[in-house]
Amino acid sequence: MNKLHVTPLPPNMTSQHLRAVFARIGPVVAATVIKDGKGNCIMGIVEMSCPEDVEEILSTKDQIAIGGQRPYIWKPAHKHTLATLMMGKDNGIHLEEYKGRWYVFEVGQGQLRWCRVLTQHEAATFYRQYFDTSSD
């Protein structure tokens, strides 16, 4: 997996601009800027063609700059991230557990509209209130 996650991003960042920044190092397979429903950049996901380019980006601190600063760039430990979990959902409100934490979020037109972290008790209450149809 040659994917990298990038934060923070300036509010006006586009997927095309993100691709251009990383293409200075090597071929980019895909670049996506994930925004919330208000248009704020949450994070960028960049997939590089070559694993050597990924290692160069991670080990050389001065090659990538966005808005004059080096963003935090990391290689995801798991194939599925919270962002990919959220963005893989259909439109609507969802309740999901990820790495021991509960999240309730809304996806609309391919964009994250809002998200909230819940305690286990809050998640159970939310589920009973909005998703449990056994008492109907």
- Count of structural domains within the chain: 2
Decide which of 57, 74, 91 is a domain's last residue: 74
Q: For 23-72, how does the pLDDT look when each residue is reduced to its tens digit (9 = 90+)? A: 999 999 999 998 877 778 888 999 999 999 999 999 887 778 888 888 99
36 within some domain: yes
pLDDT of residue 127: 82
136 within some domain: no
Is the separation of the CB atoms in 39 and 114 below 8 Å?
no
Which residue is it, tokens 């998703």?
A: 131
Decide which of 50, 74, 98 is a domain's last residue: 74
116 and 69 within one domain? no
- What is the C-alpha to C-alpha distance for residues 92 and 53, in angstroms, rounded to an integer? 37
52 within some domain: yes
- What is the C-alpha to C-alpha distance for residues 104 and 122, in angstroms, rounded to an integer? 10
pLDDT at 131 over 80: no
89 and 120 within one domain? yes
11 and 64 within one domain? yes
Q: Which domain holds residue 17?
A: 3-74
88 and 63 within one domain? no
- What is the C-alpha to C-alpha distance for residues 58 and 56, in angstroms, rounded to an integer? 5
Could you tell me which residue, 1 or 7, shows the higher pLDDT?
Answer: 7
pLDDT of residue 85: 77
pLDDT at 87 over 80: no
60 and 42 within one domain? yes
Q: Mind giving me the DSSP string for 26-85?
A: S-EEEEEEEEBTTS-EEEEEEEES-HHHHHHHHH-TTS--BTTBPPEEE--SSSS-HHHH
- What is the C-alpha to C-alpha distance for residues 18 and 106, in angstroms, rounded to an integer? 25
Decide which of 53, 74, 95 is a domain's last residue: 74
Q: What are the φ/ψ torsions at residue 100 (nearest 5 degrees)?
A: 80, 0
- What is the C-alpha to C-alpha distance for residues 108 and 101, in angstroms, rounded to an integer? 22
Q: For 88-125, how does the pLDDT look when each residue is reduced to its tens digit (9 = 90+)? A: 778 888 888 888 788 888 888 878 888 888 888 888 88
